[in-house]
Structure formats: C-alpha cells, structure tokens
C-alpha cells in the first residue's frame, strides 16, 4: 500500500461519479421498490471494508467522514461503506451486493465492471484505469485495476464475485500494488461471503 502524491481531491470527486454509475441500475430498482437505508447488522458489516480496517493501513478514523448503510428488498440487498469528506485525504467506497442467485450475481459483476470503467469518461480523460489482474488472486470472478492520472497512481478499483455476492471497492489517496496487501485488505470480506452465503445455493 502506498500514498498517492497529488490530485487526491480531483480523483476522489471523479470516482464518486463512477460509484454512482456503477450502482445506478441497482439503486433505480431500489427506488422503485421503495427500500430505505438502515444501519447494517454486525454480520452485514463484515461484508464490506470498514473504517477500522482502513485504519490498519494508516487512514485516520473520522466518524464525520464515514457512513455504513444497508438497503434490501425482494431478495436483494446492498451493504455500503463510504468515506467522503469535504477535504478528504482518502476517499473510499466498499459495497457488497447480495443477489438472489449466482446467475444474477454474474450479470451484476459484468455490468458493474463495465459501468465503473465507463464512468471514467465523465472525467474528460483526466483519469484512466490500468488493469492489474495479478493483484487479485481470489474470488470466483475478479477485476483489479490501478487508477491513474497520467502516469501517476491515484488509487484502485476492485470488483470481486464470490458466489452470489458481488463486492466492489474504490479507493483513492492510497493505492495497492502488491497482491499480499490486497489480500490483507479484501480477503476477510470474501471469506465472510463464503461463510454467510456459501455453496448451498448452486444456482
């Protein structure tokens, strides 16, 4: 894990757009069905990267910056952690989408990767996604990238499907370029997916 050196605010602001784009289909569905956010349970918190986990990588805890929510209806739920301040040193969003079936999770994975990468076009070419598949060595489907401003690393984008759970993580202000550090950050949430939503659902 390394700190990025310049333009954190630009990158963070642009990635909020990407996050919105990535979750748009699910959020529209939620709006139609009338779901409302609520605090996640203790088990649901384990499915996302939390402030406490980021603190292990030197990110200062600040309750004013951090939010954890859960929305769910009709067999689908989404748990989301977001760290977002007016002047952030680190922006982070971690989402876990629990789908009714593995088929829907596969579809969500493909759509999420495409929309999150496509959202970068809204930055006017200031940011680009450089795939680094070697960073992720776990999960049934996985996508890993370093977000760059020119040649300068700004952060990471990770999307992982484990069973019928799709995890997405966006982070700027720090970035990960070693598989062991990525496993330390994301391994626990993937293990929780296996534990909570294991092989009993084979669809």
Torsion of CA 133, 136, 141, 146, to 10 degrees: -50
**pLDDT of 94-115, one tens digit each?**
999 999 899 989 988 988 888 7
**pLDDT of 150-203, one tens digit each?**
888 988 999 999 999 999 998 888 899 999 999 999 999 999 999 999 765 444
Nearest one of 112, 117, 66, 56 to 88, comparing CA atoms = 66
Query: Residue 84 — very low, low, confident or very high, per pLDDT cuts 50/70/90?
Result: confident
> What does the domain layout of the chain look like in residue ranges?
2-196
CA 195 – CA 198 distance, rounded (Å): 6
Nearest one of 159, 165, 166 to 198, comparing CA atoms = 165
Predicted structure pTM score = 0.84
């Amino acid at each position: 894990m390394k700190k990025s050196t310049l333009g954190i605010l630009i990158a963070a602001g642009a990635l909020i757009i990407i996050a919105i784009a990535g979750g748009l289909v699910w959020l529209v569905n939620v709006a139609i069905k009338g779901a409302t956010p609520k605090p996640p349970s203790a088990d649901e918190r384990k499915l996302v990267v939390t402030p406490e986990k980021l603190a292990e990588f030197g990110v200062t805890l600040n309750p004013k910056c951090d939010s954890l929510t859960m929305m769910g209806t009709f067999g689908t739920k989404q748990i989301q952690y977001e760290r977002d301040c007016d002047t952030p040193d680190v922006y982070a969003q971690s989402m876990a989408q629990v789908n009714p079936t593995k088929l829907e999770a596969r579809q969500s994975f493909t759509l999420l990767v495409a929309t999150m990468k496509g959202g970068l076009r809204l930055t006017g070419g200031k940011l680009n996604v450089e795939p680094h598949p070697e960073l992720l060595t776990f999960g049934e489907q996985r996508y890993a990238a370093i977000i760059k401003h020119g040649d300068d690393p700004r952060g990471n984008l990770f999307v992982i499907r484990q069973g019928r759970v799709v995890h997405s993580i966006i982070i700027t202000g720090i970035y990960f370029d070693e598989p062991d550090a990525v496993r330390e950050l994301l391994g626990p949430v993937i293990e929780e997916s296996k534990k909570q939503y294991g092989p009993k659902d084979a669809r």
